Structure 1
Amino acid sequence: MTAEEREAFLAEVHVGVVAIERPDRAPLAVPIWYGYRPGGEVLLWTSPDSVKGKLIKAAGRFAITAQVEDWPYRYVTAEGPVVGFDEPAPADEVRAIAIRYLGQEEGEKFFAENFQAEGSVLIRMRPERWLSTDYRKA
């Protein structure tokens, strides 16, 4: 994929999988909702006390993969440093992530039922390295 194609793909709605290094085990890899706009930062909303929250803070970086699971397969992986650890998480950013995945009505409902500023963090990662494949071009 070109740089523009991979950024546009990452900006589409996919459940991402984040991978975070651990000192004594294999990397942690877990699915997550995320936010991204081309040229911007990858945004993750989580608890700073969660396993992924603690590991990301300790590592100072992570990778995220988004994919299409049907043929022709496509995927994008972006990795980079954490450039922000906004605690408490800004409500507007969290609301936008919920709406991205659930649509306006259900996203607002999910946000109202699940958002608590205290005990949540918005993690910002600036992509520096990319890996991508688009089998539609094969």
Structure 2
Amino acid sequence: MALTREERERFLAEPHVAALSVDAAESGRAPLTVPIWYQYEPGGDIWIMTGRDSRKGTLIAGAGRFSLMADRVTPTVRYVSVEGPVVATLPATREQLVEISGRYLPREKVDDYVEFAWKEHGEQVVIHMRPQRWLSSDLGES
């Protein structure tokens, strides 16, 4: 059964690790699909953080759009998939790294992770996507 707008937005706002897909822009290649952390508040844009020169960052810049799919299997099998255009790509800030890390990591792990990632992951960008097309369903208990 499809989710209502409120249900799908509330679900997407939960801290799921999403599968990001973007056109690989190469003949004979399927879209690139990778797990990623994301940030979303109902009614807003989605943002992700990635390396400026990473494969996904380069492909997203070329395609101008991407999709995310988040799912769970308990207490019911549920998923939300969203696709849309990139509306901004900006240099990442340390504060954004803290925000997104705090969404996924236990509080006591955030500072060490941020310190490591800020030094070791190279130049990062934040890519904002405006949700345009949604698919969602709750398939009932697993």
After TM superposition, the score normalised by the length of structure 2 is 0.89
Cα RMSD of the aligned pairs, angstroms, is: 1.7
Q: Does 1:49 align with 2:62?
A: no
In the other structure, the counterpart of 2:134 is 130
State the alpha-carbon separation in 2 of the partners of residues 79 and 43 from structure 1.
Answer: 12
In the other structure, the counterpart of 2:41 is 37
The 8 Å contact of residues 78 and 130 in structure 1, kept in 2 or not, is answered as: yes
After TM superposition, the score normalised by the length of structure 1 is 0.91
* Runs ≥4 residues deviating over 4 A: none
Identity percentage of aligned residues: 44
- Give deviations 1:3-60, integer Å, cap 9, x for gaps: 0100100010111000001222110000011111111111111101111010001101
Q: Does 1:74 align with 2:71?
A: no
**Where in structure 2 are there 5+ consecutive unaligned residues?**
none
| Equivalent AA in structure 1 for residue 95 of structure 2 | D
3, 10, 15: which one aligns with 2:5: 3
The 8 Å contact of residues 75 and 134 in structure 1, kept in 2 or not, is answered as: yes
**Where in structure 1 are there 5+ consecutive unaligned residues?**
none
In the other structure, the counterpart of 1:12 is 14
Structure whose residues are more often strand by fraction: 2
